[in-house]
Amino acid sequence: MKNLFLTLAFVLGAASSFASDSTEEAVALERTCVPTTLSCGIEGWSCGDTTTEILENAIAADEALCP
């Protein structure tokens, strides 16, 4: 389990920025798009309403485009 969280920290941690609580509430329903680099170098934008959704879209793209 420790390894899982280390991987997660690596994926998200390198370039994460934490907004303040009040900002999060104000924009909670906005769809966010994040510049994303896939494992084979392909670049694009991954979008979603939550961190899970953005990650799932990026992972799905990685699995489909970088087998």
Shortest gap between Cβ of 6 and other proteins (angstroms)?
A: 9
Shortest gap between Cβ of 53 and other proteins (angstroms)?
A: 7
Q: Could you tell me the two tokens for 35?
A: 């510049």
56 half-sphere exposure, CB direction, 13 A CA radius: 6
Q: Which residue has the tokens 């934008």?
A: 45
DSSP state of 30: S
Instruction: Quote the distance between the C-alpha of residue 21 and its chain's center.
Output: 19
Kindly write out the interface string for residues 14-53 of this chain, putting x where it contacts other proteins by CB under 8 A and - elsewhere.
xxxxxx---xx--xx-xxxxxxxxxx--xxxxxxxxxxxx
Residues that bind other proteins (CB under 8 A): 1, 4-5, 7-8, 10-12, 14-19, 23-24, 27-28, 30-39, 42-67
